[in-house]
Every structure is written in C-alpha cells, then in structure tokens.
C-alpha cells in the first residue's frame, strides 16, 4: 500500500527546508483564489497593515482563530506576553468585521499552570465591546495524563458576538439519535417523556461536542506534516451556524487550511493567513487537491508528493504512532 506521510514539520527542520523551496508565497504575499475568491496571505496576524491588505476593504461576518499555544512557547514567552500578543490580533480582527459578527477562538488551558492562558485571555477579552455567548468544549478521543490525573480530553472553544449576528440553529443538530428517555412532563393531562415530545430524532450539539472525530493519520482529512489540525466537522459546524452563503470568514492561523476548505464546502469566502509559507502552501494545495479529487486531505501521502521524494528512512520515522491532534500546541 502507498504510504508516504510527512513527519511533523515542527520536529523535522531538514524536511521543512526542502518544502520551503516549493512554496509559492513569501512573507507579505497574498494568493487570491481565481475560482471562489478565497485569499491566503503569508502574514503575521499581528501585522495590522498586512491584514488590511489581505482584507482589501471587505468585512468578515465570522472569525475562527486557532492561535499557536504550547508549553514550549511559555519557555520564551510569559502568559502576560502571550495574552498581549493575542490582544493585538483580536483587535485587528474586530476592525475588519461587520457590526453584527461572531468571533470564535480555540484556546488551550494548561493543567499544570493555572489553566493558562485561558483565564487571562478571557479577562483580556473584557476590554473589547463584544459579548460572551458560549464556552464550547470539544471532546477528543485520545487524551493525556492518564496515570495520575483525570485524562485530559477537552479542547476549548470560546464564542463571542458583537451586535446581533446570524445563528442558524439547524447547524446545531448532530446525527446522534435521540436515545435516552426521561424528562417526564404532563401534556394534555397525560404524562409524556421527551422522545414523544421532541420535534427532532437527533440531539443538538449543545456546548459540549461529543461527535467530532479527532484528526489522526488514518483519516482521509489528515494533512501529514501538520501537527495541530482541527477536524473539518467542527469548523463546518461553526461556519454553518454563524454565517450565510457568500459571507467572508477570516482565520489568521491557517496551518492545514481547515477553515479554507470548510468555507469552500459551505459556499463562503475565506480570507486566511499564516506566518509560515509552508503552511500557506499546504492550505492552498489542500484546497486544490479537494477540487481535483474530492479528497479532504492525504491519508497516506502528502501535499508535496510531486515535489519531493521522501527517503525510506524518513518515511519510517514519519509514520505517526499517536494521533497528530493529541499534542497541545
């Protein structure tokens, strides 16, 4: 069987350097998609001028940001510095959004460090004229810290709004059948249980999402080389709930291009950025690959297959043994 994944690019500088030569964008460049009008910029999210160029005067109704977060970052950057850095790109994002808009931010909470940066980030967000709407938790299949602690299986997603943006409640229904009876209530003199009363056969996601499959190497949507890919289903749910057809969706941390691809599938335009040319290229190629093949990623291959051949030793090393998503970044 064909099996040719890339190693995690944050852990293999040699392969990273080889890929760099095949990237169409360099710092400051913006790719404009000739088919659906998406944009990908090789841009630092805190560079407000460059983001202004990316937006080209258009306003987004929805932002989905997934900033880098890792324990390694705290070796060089304090929580205060990290949160000050976040404030810059949140501020820039809001400047390029409509009066009625939704802002979603994925963030980590370090169990060994007072759940940072989540609490300080939440406090910082009070400085903006926005409202909190929901604190969503996505349950991962694989966790960490199983021996001496509760296994950590959660990913946090913060949902803020400004004004009165759209919320399509249908997007909240999952394909999980409504199975549990209970919650008795008297209707017309008769005791009924929830299954009799319900309008839908399936349950709503609510703000604890149990039906999202974590990305790992066996899934078609896997983009090898990436180490922080969000599941398409989770991003699609946000887009379907919080935007309308043809709206602009922004994501300043593209990485594998999940928001770009989900926006393409949902008929929205995505303006996205990544500071790293390799991930910009990865995102663009993922979109192109989807258009050419209908595939959402490369289950056993990778985005640069036509450009670089992996040596057999690299191939061996590249084969992941744990889900890529299991690492907090």
**Which residues contact ligand SAM by CB under 6 A?**
44-46, 66, 68, 226, 228-230, 252-253, 255-256, 258, 273-276, 279, 329
Beta strand pairing call for 116-117 and 131-144: unpaired
> Smallest distance from the beta carbon of 138 to ligand SAM, in angstroms?
12
Burial group, residue 33, by CB count within 10 angstroms (0-12, 13-18, 19+): middle
DSSP class of 36: T
The Cα 139–Cα 240 span in angstroms is 20
Tell which residue, 320, 323, 328, has the closest CA to residue 7: 320
Strand order in the sheet with 60-65: 30-32, 39-42, 269-274, 248-251, 60-65, 97-107, 152-162, 131-144, 208-209
Contact yes or no for 168/154 (Cβ under 8 A): no
Nearer to ligand SAM, 38 or 230 (CB): 230
Nearer to ligand SAM, 109 or 203 (CB): 109
> Smallest distance from the beta carbon of 321 to ligand SAM, in angstroms?
21
Q: Is the dihedral of CA 227, 85, 25, 296 positive or negative?
A: positive
> Smallest distance from the beta carbon of 6 to ligand SAM, in angstroms?
14
> Smallest distance from the beta carbon of 29 to ligand SAM, in angstroms?
14
Nearer to ligand SAM, 90 or 203 (CB): 90
> Smallest distance from the beta carbon of 12 to ligand SAM, in angstroms?
15
Contact yes or no for 61/69 (Cβ under 8 A): no
* Phi/psi of residue 219, nearest 5 degrees: -85, 145
> Smallest distance from the beta carbon of 2 to ligand SAM, in angstroms?
23
The Cα 175–Cα 141 span in angstroms is 18
Nearer to ligand SAM, 236 or 269 (CB): 236
The Cα 160–Cα 262 span in angstroms is 20
DSSP SS3 for 70: coil
> Smallest distance from the beta carbon of 30 to ligand SAM, in angstroms?
13
Nearer to ligand SAM, 275 or 287 (CB): 275
Nearer to ligand SAM, 18 or 203 (CB): 18
Nearer to ligand SAM, 44 or 110 (CB): 44
């Amino acid at each position: 069987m064909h099996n040719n994944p890339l190693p995690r690019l944050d852990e293999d500088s040699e392969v990273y350097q080889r890929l760099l030569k095949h990237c169409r964008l360099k710092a400051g460049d913006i790719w404009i998609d000739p088919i659906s009008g998406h944009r990908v910029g090789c841009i630092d999210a805190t560079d407000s001028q460059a983001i202004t160029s990316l937006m080209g005067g258009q306003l987004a109704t929805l932002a989905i940001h997934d900033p880098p977060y890792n324990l390694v970052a705290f070796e060089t950057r304090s929580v205060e510095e990290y949160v000050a850095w976040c404030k810059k790109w949140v501020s820039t994002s809001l400047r390029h959004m409509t009066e009625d808009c939704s802002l979603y931010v994925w963030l980590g909470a370090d169990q060994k460090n007072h759940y940072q940066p989540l609490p300080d980030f939440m406090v910082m967000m009070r400085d903006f004229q926005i409202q909190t709407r929901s604190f969503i938790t996505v349950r991962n299949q694989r966790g960490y810290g199983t021996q001496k602690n509760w296994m950590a299986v959660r990913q946090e997603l913060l949902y803020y709004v400004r004004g009165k943006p759209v919320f399509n409640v249908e997007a909240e229904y999952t394909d999980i059948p409504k199975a549990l009876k209970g919650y008795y209530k008297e209707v017309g003199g008769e005791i009924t249980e929830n299954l009799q009363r319900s309008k839908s056969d399936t349950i709503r996601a609510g703000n604890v999402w149990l039906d999202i499959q974590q990305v790992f190497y066996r899934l078609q949507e896997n983009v090898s080389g990436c180490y922080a890919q969000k599941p398409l289903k989770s991003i699609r749910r946000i887009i379907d709930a919080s935007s309308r057809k043809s709206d602009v969706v922004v994501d300043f941390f593209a990485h594998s291009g999940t928001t770009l691809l989900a926006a393409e599938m949902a008929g929205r335009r995505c303006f996205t950025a990544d500071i790293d040319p390799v991930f910009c290229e990865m995102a663009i190629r993922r979109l192109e690959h989807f258009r050419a093949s209908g595939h959402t990623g490369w289950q056993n291959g990778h985005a640069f297959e036509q450009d670089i051949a992996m040596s057999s030793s690299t191939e061996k090393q590249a084969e992941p043994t744990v889900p890529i998503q299991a690492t907090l970044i």
